[in-house]
């Protein structure tokens, strides 16, 4: 495999403005880069990493953290292009993926097995529901979502128990016990648990302090207080911490982001240097003037004013004041049609931004009425579709048999004669013995317990044999069977296809949708697409050690910022939050009124 031909680092640096160059060359000690929108921040971050490598700092000593898998991939690709080096020892990661790495390495210190499952929001809600059943409590679905948010706030230390919320404390404790029993963690745990390790096990903290002597955090304004605490622990000894952010771009306070982390950086690192990137390379002068005028009213912010050399003649920002939301939607769609007809603008070059998804209904109706194709971010994720969740459920139980939530999902999908009575016997035994459902099934089958019928026992025995068979299949070749640094032959994708055929999931779909075979075919095609994604990941030459656990980690974490493919040629309707980091030729900002 040929190495990427690198760009000349000095040539790249010669194209930087003075502030950007200063940030790239400032390697040692704490550094705060206040980077306004469109100021070339990503280029500075990646060039700075290339500069560190050029100065002889080992890849293994560098940790770069960001918020989305897309941003992490882009950062890695840019550094690879700059250096021409394989980057197998460089850690460029999201906070959550880095948390997974630490937990896999140190799981036993927290009472987990290294093959733990990562629960998404629906799995977490199912676990809360199960905990409520244990305590003989009943909650409506909306209440479960509220409780999930409360438990997240408590766990991440954003909320404290008070007179009202403490009523739910027994449920929270039961939920935590069940998560441990299931050998499962949720997204909050991926930051909270590593922080607990750092706080309670100084020797473990020192392992990671020695490993990562240079730390960079991108989009620093979007860090939560607990994420900042996590990073501060890592950087406290070597103090080579570079944080890049812009308090004016902080948009995630609703999920715990604390922009005051930027303002408080100087308290924790009084010797820090601070560099402002204020030249904008993305927007025109008119847009910047409007943005600066709005931002100037923000309180508790770092003073800065974006500017640009791009002062060519341009259109002004247009303002329209329709009577109501229906008239607004019609104005937007008529304008889009005119842009398409008169300017030849492609629909996918257009962005329609709203504050919340609840404001899109009128716009969607108008787009449909005008036959304008559109895509809306925040729809049903590919990985949240029923058939995909079913197959992922099988993979999760094969990886972690103690995962009760996913075991309940697949035990009778496709049907294998496990009725409600049998299921109740399994659950009752598991509760009585305080172990997992899988252990209860094993006891019921192999000790010939009278609680279940011979037919049910036969179906459960088949299920156990299936799981155990594919645990062997998905182990893959032993490490000593392949040369160091050489990828093993593909085994995950063939194993998945074999599993799909053995459980006859196609037959299950035909039975479920016997009155509409088109739906069955469409759902099965989704599974084929899933298999293709797995194969693409498994054969990727940069992925030297593919494993089932690593793939499950990847899809769970990627699902948080995953977008549907095949969206070319469609107008983009999305919330302002979802638009962060995207660019369009024409943008409509709907519902822009005070309050």
What is the Rg, in whole angstroms, of the alpha carbon atoms belonging to the chain?
26
Mean pLDDT, rounded, for 469-486: 77
352 and 408 assigned to the same domain? no
> Is the pLDDT higher at 319 or at 138?
138
On whether residue 169 sits in a domain, the answer given is yes
Q: In the structure encoding, which two tokens stand for residue 97, read together?
A: 């993926």
Last residue of a domain, one of 212, 244, 277: 277
On whether residue 288 sits in a domain, the answer given is no
The CATH number covering residue 517 comes to: 1.10.486.10
548, 580, 534: which is closest to 561 by C-alpha?
580
Residue holding tokens 């769609």?
Answer: 333
Q: Is the pLDDT of residue 198 over 80?
A: yes
Mean pLDDT, rounded, for 418-427: 88
On whether residue 295 sits in a domain, the answer given is no
141 and 201 assigned to the same domain? no
Quote the CA–CA distance of 31 and 21 in Å, as a whole number.
14
Q: Give the other-Cβ count within 10 Å of 430's Cβ.
A: 20
List % helix, strand, coil for the chain (3-state, nearest 5): 55, 10, 35
For residues 465 and 398, the answer to whether their CB atoms sit within 8 Å is: no
434 and 534 assigned to the same domain? yes
On whether residue 577 sits in a domain, the answer given is yes
505 and 357 assigned to the same domain? no
| Residues linked to residue 588 through DSSP beta bridges, in sequence order | 352
60 and 129 assigned to the same domain? no
On whether residue 559 sits in a domain, the answer given is no
Last residue of a domain, one of 160, 182, 204: 182
Last residue of a domain, one of 277, 310, 334: 277
Q: Is the pLDDT of residue 363 over 70?
A: yes
Q: Is the pLDDT of residue 5 over 70?
A: no
pLDDT digits (tens, 9 = 90+) for 524-567: 999 998 999 899 889 988 787 899 999 998 888 876 555 444 45
Quote the CA–CA distance of 244 and 304 in Å, as a whole number.
15
Residue 382 host element (H or E): none
For residues 142 and 207, the answer to whether their CB atoms sit within 8 Å is: no
404 and 473 assigned to the same domain? yes
Q: Where are the beta strands (DSSP E) in 130-192?
A: 184-186
387 and 247 assigned to the same domain? no
Residue 346 host element (H or E): none
On whether residue 59 sits in a domain, the answer given is yes
Residue holding tokens 């194993």?
Answer: 495
- Asked whether the CA dihedral 250, 252, 253, 258 is positive or negative, the reply is negative
> How far, in whole angstroms, is CA 530 from its chain's centroid?
18
259 and 344 assigned to the same domain? no
138 and 212 assigned to the same domain? no
400 and 513 assigned to the same domain? yes
**Helices 386-399 and 517-539, interaxial angle, to 10°?**
50
How many structural domains comprise the chain? 4
What is the maximum alpha-carbon separation in the chain?
85
On whether residue 293 sits in a domain, the answer given is no
> Is the pLDDT higher at 201 or at 580?
201
Length of the chain: 595
pLDDT digits (tens, 9 = 90+) for 104-143: 999 999 999 999 999 988 899 999 999 998 898 988 888 9
Confidence (pLDDT) at 69:
83
For residues 524 and 506, the answer to whether their CB atoms sit within 8 Å is: yes
125 and 57 assigned to the same domain? no
Confidence (pLDDT) at 298:
58
375 and 391 assigned to the same domain? no
Phi, psi angle pair for 343, to nearest 5°: -110, -10
pLDDT digits (tens, 9 = 90+) for 156-176: 988 999 999 999 999 999 999
Binned at pLDDT 50, 70 and 90, residue 509 comes out as: very high
On whether residue 315 sits in a domain, the answer given is no
Phi, psi angle pair for 500, to nearest 5°: -55, -40
Residue ranges making up the domain that contains 412: 383-542
Inter-CA distances, 252 with 99, 163, 477, 485, 566, Å? 20, 28, 43, 40, 28
Phi, psi angle pair for 50, to nearest 5°: -60, -40
Q: 303: which residues sit within 8 A by CB, 6+ positions away?
A: none
566, 496, 484: which is closest to 537 by C-alpha?
496
The CATH number covering residue 341 comes to: 3.40.50.300
């Amino acid at each position: 495999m040929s190495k990427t031909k690198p760009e000349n680092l000095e040539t790249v640096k010669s194209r930087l403005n003075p502030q950007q160059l200063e940030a790239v060359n400032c390697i040692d000690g704490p550094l705060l880069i206040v980077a306004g929108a469109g100021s070339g921040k990503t280029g500075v971050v990646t060039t700075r990493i290339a500069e560190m490598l050029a100065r002889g700092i080992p890849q293994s000593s560098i940790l770069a953290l960001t918020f989305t898998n897309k941003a992490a991939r882009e950062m890695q690709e840019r550094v690879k292009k700059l250096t021409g080096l394989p980057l197998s020892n460089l850690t460029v990661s999201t906070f959550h993926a880095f948390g997974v790495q630490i937990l896999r390495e140190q799981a036993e210190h927290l009472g987990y097995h290294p093959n733990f499952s990562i629960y998404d929001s629906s799995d977490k809600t199912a676990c809360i529901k199960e905990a409520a059943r244990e305590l003989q409590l009943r909650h409506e679905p909306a209440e479960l979502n509220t409780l999930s948010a409360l438990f997240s706030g408590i766990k991440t230390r954003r909320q404290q128990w008070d007179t009202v919320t403490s009523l739910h404390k027994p449920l929270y404790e039961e939920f935590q016990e069940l998560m441990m029993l299931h050998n499962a963690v949720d997204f909050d745990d991926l930051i909270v648990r590593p922080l607990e390790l750092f706080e309670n096990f100084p020797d473990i903290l020192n392992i990671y302090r020695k490993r990562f002597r240079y730390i960079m955090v991108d989009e620093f304004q979007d860090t939560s207080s607990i994420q900042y605490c996590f990073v501060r622990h890592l950087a406290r000894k070597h103090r080579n911490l570079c944080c890049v952010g812009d308090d004016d771009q902080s948009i995630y306070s609703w999920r715990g982001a604390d922009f005051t982390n930027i303002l408080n950086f100087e308290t924790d690192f009084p010797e820090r240097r601070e560099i402002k990137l204020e030249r904008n390379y993305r927007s025109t002068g008119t847009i910047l003037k409007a943005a600066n005028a709005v931002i100037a009213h923000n309180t508790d912010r770092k003073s800065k004013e974006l500017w640009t050399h791009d002062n060519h003649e341009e259109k002004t920002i247009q303002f329209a004041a329709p009577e109501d939301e229906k008239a607004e939607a019609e104005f937007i769609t008529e304008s889009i049609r005119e842009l398409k007809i008169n300017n030849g603008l492609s629909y996918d070059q257009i962005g329609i931004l709203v504050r919340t998804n609840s404001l899109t209904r009128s716009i969607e109706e108008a787009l449909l009425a005008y036959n304008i194709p559109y895509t809306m971010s925040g729809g049903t994720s590919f990985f949240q579709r029923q058939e995909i969740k079913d197959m992922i459920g099988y993979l999760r139980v094969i990886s972690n048999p103690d995962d009760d939530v996913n075991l309940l999902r697949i035990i009778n999908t496709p049907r294998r004669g496990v009725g409600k009575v049998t299921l109740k016997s399994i659950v009752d035994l598991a509760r009585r013995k305080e172990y997992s459902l899988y252990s209860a099934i094993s006891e019921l089958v192999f000790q010939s317990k009278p609680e279940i019928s011979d037919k049910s026992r036969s179906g459960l025995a088949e299920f156990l044999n299936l799981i155990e068979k594919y645990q062997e299949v998905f182990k893959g070749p032993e490490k000593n069977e392949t040369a160091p640094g050489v990828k093993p032959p593909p085994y995950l994708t063939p194993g998945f296809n074999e599993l799909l055929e053995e459980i006859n999931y196609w037959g299950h779909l035909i039975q479920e949708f016997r009155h509409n075979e088109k739906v069955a075919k469409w759902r099965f095609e989704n599974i084929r697409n899933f298999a293709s994604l797995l194969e693409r990941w498994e054969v990727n030459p940069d992925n030297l050690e593919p494993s089932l656990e690593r793939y499950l980690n990847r899809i769970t974490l990627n699902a948080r910022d995953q977008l549907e493919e095949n969206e070319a040629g469609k107008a983009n309707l999305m919330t302002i939050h979802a638009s962060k980091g995207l660019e369009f030729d024409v943008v409509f900002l709907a519902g822009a009124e005070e309050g």
